[in-house]
Chains A and B, each alone.
Chain A
Amino acid sequence: MPIEFKKRPGVVAYLTAGDPDLETTYAIALAAIDNGADVIELGVPFSDPLADGPVIERASQRAVARGVRLVDVLEVARKLRAARPLCGLVIFSYLNPVVRMGMKKFCAAAKVAGADGVLLTDMIVEEADEYLAEMKANGLAPIFLAAPTSPDVRLKAIAEASRGFVYAISRVGITGTQQKVAGDASELVARLRRYTDPLGIPVAVGFGISNAEHVAAVGKFADAAIIGSALVALIEKSSPAEAPAAVGRFIAGLRA
């Protein structure tokens, strides 16, 4: 399925796969989809998540300690695709687990699993030749990050390389919740739209988006809001049995 945001603002839910365990991640993802998430980003846990704040870092460490691997995350994706044929599904990873599997093998496996797109945190457009070729060969959407610090020339290259959506980082910094949506976000999205709009590529805003007020604020200037650390923190404080329902209620409340 192509990634679509039918309602505005769309909601993208990030989950660190395998925290607290793979079965619960699957159940949480179903609950998120059934309560209105348009896209699920399945995060591959990594030993050195240097773009992440403490919440996702802890979740990643717990999942790595449990031995969760990229192949396990792809298996969750496969089950999700079978259960929910229409949801958007993105594999979200640091580069090294993908390099270890092999870029060609990974892209083919992501396609077989039913993913729509891939986001690699530490992959920039200049280094992406092989990645982009493999994504194209498999009909997958490469999603790149755009930052408030990115000059226009980079935003143009990012827009042109991306499919599905562009992930606009709301503020300079690492992942984690914040009080309000930074002013950086609307300025970045305005600059980015000059390049994405002619190509028809949506813009989703992430980093620090944690409640309905933030989602509404983002909806005024972007196509979708990405919820990450707030969900991971909710899962951290819920028991595995309660986590799917808690996440479902949380997602349902975001566009209330």
Chain B
Amino acid sequence: MSENANLQEPVSAAVVAKAGRFGVYGGRYVPETLMAALEELETAYAVADADPAFHAELDDLLHNYCGRPTPLYFAKRMSEQLGGAKIYLKREDLLHTGAHKINNALGQGMLARRMGKQRIIAETGAGQHGVATATVCALFGMQCVIYMGEEDMRRQELNVFRMRLLGAEVRGVSTGSATLKDAINEAMRDWVTNVRDTYYILGSALGSHPYPTMVRNFQRVISREARVQILEQEGKLPSAIVACVGGGSNAIGAFYEFIGDKDVRLIGVEAGGRGTKLGDHAARFQKIDGGVPGVLQGTFSYVLQDDAGQVATTHSVSAGLDYASVGPEHAMLHDSGRAEYTSASDTEALAATVALARTEGILPALESAHAIAEAMKMAPKMAKSDVLMVNLSGRGDKDMGILAKELDLQGAKG
């Protein structure tokens, strides 16, 4: 299959036909002040994307600096214990800085450098995108300001220290629920104010065009590698691919090159939090008390909100999934039925963390543990000849504080 063969699929044709739209979703809903910057970005990205030298440098850095390609690892013990499908883990957790976020931060950092922007801003939830951005800024010698909700700074403190060590300024955000959405609001206020000399490295496949397309393109390396790797190792495509979905960048990266493979199920796992009531979860695609289409932070997608259009607060044990909206391409894949979306609760994610740590010696990020939790539900119901691929988007070192507290509360033996 050629590199761009899946662009022939109807689901992607809509993207090609109307830039910035994924079916009815996506678009640009921003204050006018940002429009010139978005247009400048769109043009600069298109030129860079068409430049072989840009891709050559990106590929070189992804290989020699970040450690790509990441392994596709057969989780033999976990597969045997579950007694069903063969589980493979795409090891984005082994990347430099510990998560898939560096794929995008590096690409956008190179773009910012090409555009001559010396000041970089970013939002972060779990801190992985903030760390990746701070890392790229250190590498390129650029000024770096990271916006982070104060609740997230508390629960992901180790990443705050990492960002500061790397030379970034971390600005706490106390509005709203002091989590990812509020950090994006502050980052956008900064960008509106400093738009002439500042580049905003958005960390997920969210926001206004061209961000959702650009971020997905920087993340699709995950599925590009995985598709080749699984064919090499198993001689066939997986029955299903499972990935956690906050904004949705690791999931769209893991799904994208398989969209044209109709027999491969694509399964996104949202944060089920502590319950199904609005405010207790971040499951935008949940049928009851879930999201409805609306506009938040520049794009049209599913949004958790009340019936007056006020955006709802969210809850998840994982800061990276704790967000009221979702990338517009996922909204399209949801409506078309090409991808399926489910959720895992806080409790299930914590249990999956322990299970993976103790069967495979791998500590997943709490975000990625949501995907592991779903895989643990699915695998026993599948045939032993089936292959189930999980995108292990990040490692869990950052979560040790939460894990120490939560697992003690549940009486887990150390």
Which of these, A51, A70, A101, A151, contacts B31 with CB under 8 Å? A51
Which residues of A151-204 have CB atoms within 8 Å of chain B's CB atoms? 151, 154, 158, 169, 172-174
Q: Chain B contact residues: over half helix, strand or loop, or mixed?
A: mixed
**Does B29 have its Cβ within 8 Å of any Cβ on chain A?**
yes
B305 in contact with A126 (CB, 8 Å): no
Task: State how many residues of chain B have any CB contact under 8 Å with chain A.
Answer: 38
Identify which of residues 288-318 in chain B touch chain A, using a CB-to-CB cut-off of 8 Å. Answer: 292-298, 300, 303, 305, 307-311
- Give the residues in chain A near B30, CB-CB below 8 Å: 122, 124
Q: Convert A78-105 into 0s and 1s, putting 1 for each residue whose CB lies closer than 8 angstroms to a CB of B.
A: 0000000000000000111111110000
Q: Are A154 and B310 within 8 A (Cβ)?
A: no
CB distance from B38 to the nearest CB of A (A): 9
Contact mask for chain B residues 310-330; partner A; CB cutoff 8 A; 1 contact, 0 none? 110000000000000000000
Chain B residues, Cβ within 8 Å of A172: 33, 192-196
Contact partner, B311, options A47, A70, A127, Cβ 8 Å: A47
Contacting residues, chain A, for B195 (C-beta < 8 A): 149, 172
Q: Which residues of B contact A126 (CB under 8 A)?
A: 28
* Interface contact A48-B35, CB-CB below 8 Å: no
The minimal Cβ–Cβ distance linking A48 to chain B, given in whole angstroms, is 5
Instruction: Please tell me which stretch of B71-79, B92-100, B181-189 contacts chain A, meaning at least 4 of its Cβ atoms lie within 8 angstroms of it.
Output: B181-189
User: Which of A22-30, A109-117, A139-147, A234-242 participates in binding chain B?
Assistant: A139-147
Residues in B with CB closer than 8 Å to A71 are 308
Q: How far is the CB of B21 from chain A (nearest CB, A)?
A: 10
Chain A minimum-CB-distance residue to B35: A124
Interface pair B32/A158, CB less than 8 Å apart:
yes
> Contacts of A124 on B, CB cut-off 8 Å?
28-30, 32, 35
Given contacts A50-B185, A149-B195, contact A122 B29 (CB under 8 A): yes
Q: How far is A215 from B193 in the complex, measured between Cα atoms in Å?
A: 22
A51-B29 contact given A69-B308, A70-B309, A100-B294, CB 8 Å threshold: no
Docked complex: B23-52 residues within 8 A CB-CB of A: 27-37
| B31-A47 in contact (CB<8A) | no
Q: Please, which residue of chain B has its CB at the minimum distance from the CB of A45?
A: B310
Structural contact, A127 and B27, CB atoms closer than 8 A: yes
A97 CA to B293 CA, complexed, in Å: 11
When the two chains form their complex, are residues A98 and B309 in contact, meaning their CB atoms are under 8 A apart? yes
A147 to B191, CA, bound (A): 14
0 or 1 for each of A45-75: is its CB under 8 Å from B? (1 = yes)? 0111111010001000100100001110000
The answer to whether A57 and B175 touch across the interface, beta carbons within 8 angstroms, is yes
Q: A48-B185, A99-B294, A100-B294 are in contact. Are A147 and B308 (CB under 8 A)?
A: no
Contact: B192 with A100, CB < 8 Å? no
A48 touches B296 (CB 8 A): yes
Report the minimal beta-carbon distance from A201 to chain B, rounded to whole angstroms.
16
From known contacts A48-B296, A97-B310, A99-B295, infer whether A127 and B185 are also in contact, taking CB-CB under 8 Å: no
Residue numbers in A under 8 Å from B297 (CB-CB) = 48, 50
A149 touches B35 (CB 8 A): yes
Instruction: Give bound CA distance, A99 to B28, whole Å.
Output: 14
Which listed residue (A47, A98, A144, A174) contacts B32, Cβ 8 A?
A: A144
- Binary interface profile of B, 164-178, with partner A (CB < 8 Å = 1, else 0)? 000000000001100
Residues 99-135 of chain B, each 1 if its beta carbon lies under 8 Å from chain A, else 0: 0000000000000000000000000000000000000
Check B309–A99 contact: CB distance below 8 A: yes
A–B pairs, 7, beta carbons within 8 Å: A46-B310, A57-B175, A70-B308, A71-B308, A124-B28, A124-B32, A145-B32
| Beyond A99-B295, A147-B33, 4 extra complex contacts between A and B, CB < 8 Å | A50-B297, A57-B175, A124-B29, A147-B36
Q: What residues of chain A have their CB less than 8 Å away from a CB belonging to chain B? A: 46-51, 53, 57, 61, 64, 69-71, 94-101, 121-124, 126-127, 144-151, 154, 158, 169, 172-174
Which B residues lie at the A interface, using CB under 8 A?
27-37, 175-176, 181, 184-185, 188-189, 192-196, 292-298, 300, 303, 305, 307-311
Which A-B residue pairs are the 5 nearest by beta carbons? A100-B309, A97-B309, A147-B33, A69-B308, A173-B193
